[in-house]
Structure 1
Amino acid sequence: MQAIQTGDLKTLMSAEENLMLVNTLDQEHFDKTRIPGAINIPQSQDQFAEKVEAATGDKSRPVVVYCASADCNSSTKAAKKLDAAGFSQVLDYEVGAKGWKDSGESLGN
């Protein structure tokens, strides 16, 4: 697992077409914290890693996990679960939706 910042995420989103961006919060919070292009797979769900694998189709595909903010630990828990499940490119966008919005980007669809 590697932590990334907003600039790193923006670069990845524009350069890496296979990137999977996963919001790890529940559906209610996902609706408020969705970075464009993200999918929602709550890390608190049973079989979280299996659901991410089903969505990515490949454990070698780069996966960025994020949650609400730097104070939220959901993405860190998710990243650890994916590492343990054998994903090879797990990135934790630690500042989450708040960091994205604070950088001037929009949240939503």
Structure 2
Amino acid sequence: MASADQISYGDLKALIEKDKGLVLVDVRTKDEVDKGRIPGSIHIPVSDVEIDFSLDQDAFQNKFGVAKPPLDAPNLVFHCQMGRRGQAATEKARSLGFQSARNYAGGYKEWSEKESK
């Protein structure tokens, strides 16, 4: 069962299709991202989450090409390959004040399996 800080494949798929305000953050390594990624995601390695989410608006925009989400952003989602690093990133973001940050626990592994069907 999903908790308040988790999001399912179905929920994420619906958000990608409907919500232009979604900020989807891939926290895997560059090598992993180079092998495939969820469309629309931005890459911030889990080790950089605290640094990058502490940037000011302009610096974040310049680095990632998207607006830095506000602290109350309802659709800030992190993911990794299988869930563990995504959960760590979600907890880091929450500690910075992003109270609605969520982890896509299925990760890229589940996404790529479901998307290839």
Shorter chain as normaliser: what TM range? 0.7 to 0.9
CA distance in 2 between counterparts of 1:60 and 1:98 reads 28
1:12-91 aligned within 5 A: 12-45=15-48, 47-51=51-55, 54=60, 55-61=67-73, 62-70=75-83, 73-91=84-102
Deviation at 1:60, TM superposition (A): 2.1
Normalising by structure 1, what TM-score? 0.82
Match of 2:109 in 1: 98
Greater mean deviation of Cα atoms: 40-49 or 60-69: 40-49
**SS of 2:24 mapped into structure 1:** strand
Per-residue CA distance 1:30-63 (angstroms, 9 max, x = gap): 1124101111001112614325973524222221
Higher gyration radius (CA): 2
CA RMSD of aligned residues (A): 2.2
- Does residue 4 of the first structure (1) align with residue 15 of the second (2)? no
Unpaired runs of 5+ in structure 1?
none
| CA 1:94–1:68: 2 relative to 1, 3 Å | same
Give the partner amino acid of 2:85. Answer: S
**Structure 2 length as normaliser, TM-score?**
0.77
Contact 1:25 1:42 in 2 (8 A): yes
C-alpha contact (below 8 Å) 1:41/1:52 kept by paired residues: no
The structure whose RCO (Cα within 8 Å, separation 6+) is larger is 1
Q: Does the CA contact (< 8 Å) of 1:6 and 1:93 recur in 2?
A: yes
User: Once superposed, which parts of structure 1, at least 4 consecutive aligned residues long, lie more than 4 Å away?
Assistant: none
The CA distance in 2 between the partners of 1:89 and 1:105, in whole Å, is 30
- In the alignment, is the contact (CA less than 8 A) between 2:69 and 2:76 conserved in 1? no
